Structure 1
Amino acid sequence: MSEQYRFVVVANRLPVDEIVDDDGKRAWTRSPGGLVSALQPTVRARRGAWIGWAGGTGEAPEPFALDGMWLHPIALTQQELDHYYEGESNATIWPLYHDAVETPAFHRHWREAYRRVNQRFAEAAAELAAPGAVVWVHDYQLQLVPAMLRELRPDLRIGFFLHIPFPPVELFMQLPWRTQILKGLLGADLVGFQRPGGAENFLRLTHNLGLEPEGDRVVVDGRTVTARAFPISIDVDEMEKLAADPHIRQRAKQLSEELGGHRRLLLGVDRLDYTKGIEHRLKAYRELLAEGRLSNQDVALVQVATPSRLRVAQYRQLRERVEREVGRINGEFGEVGLAPVHYLFRSYDREELLALYLAADVMVVTPLRDGMNLVAKEYVAARTDNSGALVLSEFTGAAAELPEAFGVNPHDVDGLKEAFVAALETPAEELGERMRRMREHVCAHDVGRWAREFLDALGEPPG
């Protein structure tokens, strides 16, 4: 039997991506994304194992140690990638859990692939977990794993955390195999959500299984399952160290000159996803330019759009619409050497993102629906001098924690316009006080506290 671990994380992706240089040498680099940023310090501190897909199809790489963690890759075939990941996970569950912003699709062969892949993850966790270990399962791609793992290893303490919103009962009931999903989640001892409303929705649904929840708990087969909110956060220390790095600060100055010169910068950093509200944001910005309330001479919008799920038709169509709108704005309002919108369709490493955060006068975070949105918290953590402004959608988990942001309903284009203008025109003294209070909260509620609170509630054994 291979070495076993007292702490095991199970997530759809490993926290690293494989890269191959010009000489054919293979190496691993840290993956982008909020889940990795939040979890990697926790796994590393416990010298635990992380089970996840390594990217690509065919045989998985051999397990390996990296950065104080044991990484165990899971294989996916091309068909499983199509059906489990792009199908059931991202064309059925993702849109349904995000208030059906796009219409979810339901296909039986997708569900079977989802079940099969979840079983593979559960079996890997059962093999790697030491007796009585803690296994922490993550996110919407793996909602069947807790029950599958409990059947294989009833000795384990199993936690599950959902990083995206959990939908209202009326939406969840559309799932053709809603009972299996509920039973899958109830295999955990602790089910965590970003907001209290998600836990309440989940507990209400247990009535459909003939269960009677009391408070935040429900008894299942003699076990007590707890459902509670644990708002996720970021590694504040890392963000502050990067923000203080002279090279990054110099890069921020360079970006300010390259992107705007004397102009003030609004910044959006999002995956290219229909839940992120990018189209609404661009429409609001175009109208402000057309009305003369903002001038291309004075303000520029920088939109980073990280490529995402481009084999899914809805995402390809979104990219076309976004790029068409960017072209329209730049064509109507641009001047030689002075573009109103800088559209950056690529991934950026942590250092370059930090430089962008430092260069931006206003951070624009306006999803139509989001579980938390860690970009908002990263921006706040990076602004160590208490400068800058945050425009924040009411439909993010972060909005409940950062009331000093310029809150906005992203469906309301006129409201978006007013929030943009307010963030640009509010006196620096008031902006500084808003940012100071937001920073106090984020610094006091970092990712370490989030993990500790979840694992304490789960009953993580000592040491």
Structure 2
Amino acid sequence: MPSAKPSSDKTTAYGEFEFIVVSNRLPVDRVSTTDSSTWRRSPGGLVTALAPVMSKADGAWVGWHGAPDESLDAFDHDNMRLVPVPLTEDEVEFYYEGFSNATLWPLYHDVIAPPEFHRHWYDSYRRVNERFAQATAAVAAEGATVWVQDYQMQLVPKMLRAARPDLKIGFFNHIPFPPLEIFAQLPWRRQVIEGLLGADLIGFQRPSDASNFLRCVRRFVGHTVRQQQVQVEVEEGGPTYTSRAEAFPISIDVDQIITLANREDIIERSKEIRRELGNPKHILLGVDRLDYTKGIGHRLKAYEELLADGHVKVEDAALIQVASPSRERVEQYRLLREEIEGAVGRINGTYDTIKNTAIRYLHHSYPVEEMVALYLAADVMLITALRDGMNLVAKEYVAARTGNSGALVLSEFAGAADTLRQAVLINPHDIDGLKAAIVTAVNMSPAEATRRMRIMRRQVLQNDVERWSKTFLTALQEGNDDNPQEAAHA
């Protein structure tokens, strides 16, 4: 784990921070009033996981603050130095909405939607990555540990290594990494691979993601690969260093979820939700960003057919579908919203009664307290992702079920399926199989549900998000002990 150096060790040639996180967004949101604006910590597991490290180390976080065409000075918040990196309106459009979310996102999710390849998008992505790398190099102390996060920042590790070879650099990819045959479509495939190989340790959600990456290294870059290690030459005939690719499945803040699940007001809210739905025998729940990777349309189709077949009756069951807004300026997402809302309207128009609604569709984002109340109210959780790096909602549902009740229907294409093997696993493309799984979950005996949930809860509780961050950072530190280039700068 990184630790702070005495201030006397620092020189003017370097920055002052021993541990730096680099991500597209800073871990805060601006809260504006008529008189002033303040910052509050963003919800999310990554901030929770790294907060203890930040408080113990000399920590800084480099990221965009969320407003285009605005430059801010670095500032302190919750024992962290926050270093805003400015983005123009064009860069938000080309680097973020364009290359990150209309090129890389669909490509890395098995081309569920067709990716777009535009040279000016990539040029913007490269320039923004360079700016993030420069901002990081400026604040990093000598020999500091830098942890770069996610697919928006894939060129940063190599850029950082070129500027600051003394640094220990880790990278974590929160989304899947595609098979070679899909990644091959990317015109800038070599640049991305070389960018990632600037890191000493590259973390992925699943072992298959790490294997996909290493296959791409062999094919497109040609470095020597032994097991999970890549020998990288800094320059022709120059020294080499080792970059490793391994799986580090991310998790959740278990203590927060359990604490909320035991709160009397949230328990009462969960009962109120059931009452508002007319106290049905079964409540089914889907919680997703409104994204084409989540399989929401497949879920609705299966549920509609179950209603048509009579295997599920609107008088006995209700499906709550939370679809939080996502990337609404991107055309594919606008079309998806129209498609999903049209399907919900058609199903409810066909099967609703005066007393009962087939699907309660909620296009909102909710605070974690309301989400936990929904987890407690739901007898069956439906995760039908077509491709997902992890899907932390599955783990949150399991953690919230403190009484070991409830059933989880989980796509085998979500990373969570690797460890939550007692879920009812499904292939979401198989509508008949999905229907059968929903019926199995709805009709599961209490004893069988308890047996499955107890095993899944043990797995989630033993592997929380703080353990994930500690495991990654420990592996990063230990790996660098054997790195000749790093040893030369020690």
1:60 alignment partner in structure 2: 71
Give SS of 2:169's match: strand
1:129 alignment partner in structure 2: 140
2:229 alignment partner in structure 1: 217
Residue 56 of structure 1 and its aligned partner are, at CA, apart by: 2.1
Residue 313 of structure 1 and its aligned partner are, at CA, apart by: 0.5
- CA deviation digits over 1:93-148, x for unaligned, max 9? 00000000001000000000000110111111111211111100010000000001
1:441 alignment partner in structure 2: 459
1:8 alignment partner in structure 2: 20
Give the structure with higher Rg (CA): 2
Q: Please report the TM-score for the alignment, with normalisation by the length of structure 1.
A: 0.96
8 Å contact from structure 1 (residues 42, 448) kept in 2: no
Which residue of 225, 229, 238 corresponds with 2:247? 229
- CA deviation digits over 1:299-335, x for unaligned, max 9? 1011111111111110000000000001011111112
Matching of residue 372 in structure 1 with residue 390 in structure 2: yes
> Any gaps of 5 or more consecutive residues in structure 1?
none
Give SS of 2:449's match: helix
1:152 alignment partner in structure 2: 163
Which residue of 112, 116, 119 corresponds with 2:123? 112
1:180 alignment partner in structure 2: 191
- One-letter amino acid of the structure 2 residue matched with residue 219 of structure 1: Q
Distance verdict in 2 for CA 1:418–1:24, change over 3 Å: farther
- One-letter amino acid of the structure 2 residue matched with residue 453 of structure 1: T
8 Å contact from structure 2 (residues 50, 466) kept in 1: no
Matching of residue 26 in structure 1 with residue 37 in structure 2: yes
Distance verdict in 2 for CA 1:79–1:443, change over 3 Å: same
Give SS of 2:133's match: helix
State how far apart, in whole Å, the 1-side matches of 2:381 and 2:54 are. Answer: 30
Distance verdict in 2 for CA 1:16–1:337, change over 3 Å: farther
CA RMSD of aligned residues (A): 1.7
Residue 295 of structure 1 and its aligned partner are, at CA, apart by: 0.8
- One-letter amino acid of the structure 1 residue matched with residue 205 of structure 2: Q
- One-letter amino acid of the structure 2 residue matched with residue 203 of structure 1: L
Residue 204 of structure 1 and its aligned partner are, at CA, apart by: 1.5
State how far apart, in whole Å, the 1-side matches of 2:16 and 2:89 are. Answer: 30
Matching of residue 88 in structure 1 with residue 99 in structure 2: yes
Distance verdict in 2 for CA 1:172–1:260, change over 3 Å: farther
State how far apart, in whole Å, the 2-side matches of 1:402 and 1:68 are. Answer: 35
Residue 275 of structure 1 and its aligned partner are, at CA, apart by: 0.2
Matching of residue 399 in structure 1 with residue 402 in structure 2: no
Give SS of 2:115's match: coil
2:3 alignment partner in structure 1: none
- One-letter amino acid of the structure 1 residue matched with residue 223 of structure 2: L
1:293 alignment partner in structure 2: 311
State how far apart, in whole Å, the 1-side matches of 2:334 and 2:205 are. Answer: 29
Distance verdict in 2 for CA 1:217–1:370, change over 3 Å: same
Q: Please report the TM-score for the alignment, with normalisation by the length of structure 2.
A: 0.91
- CA deviation digits over 1:416-449, x for unaligned, max 9? 1111111110101110110000000011111111
State how far apart, in whole Å, the 2-side matches of 1:243 and 1:106 are. Answer: 45
1:420 alignment partner in structure 2: 438
State how far apart, in whole Å, the 1-side matches of 2:320 and 2:38 are. Answer: 31
Distance verdict in 2 for CA 1:181–1:79, change over 3 Å: same
Give SS of 1:459's match: helix
2:179 alignment partner in structure 1: 168
State how far apart, in whole Å, the 2-side matches of 1:325 and 1:25 are. Answer: 43
State how far apart, in whole Å, the 2-side matches of 1:229 and 1:271 are. Answer: 24
8 Å contact from structure 2 (residues 15, 137) kept in 1: no
Distance verdict in 2 for CA 1:260–1:452, change over 3 Å: farther
Which residue of 243, 252, 263 corresponds with 1:245? 263
Which residue of 333, 341, 346 corresponds with 2:359? 341
Aligned length in residues: 461
Matching of residue 189 in structure 1 with residue 175 in structure 2: no
The 5-angstrom pairing of residues 233-382 of structure 1 reads 233-382=251-400
Distance verdict in 2 for CA 1:411–1:41, change over 3 Å: farther
8 Å contact from structure 2 (residues 45, 465) kept in 1: no
State how far apart, in whole Å, the 2-side matches of 1:330 and 1:44 are. Answer: 50
Residue 415 of structure 1 and its aligned partner are, at CA, apart by: 1.1
> Any gaps of 5 or more consecutive residues in structure 2?
1-11, 234-239, 482-490
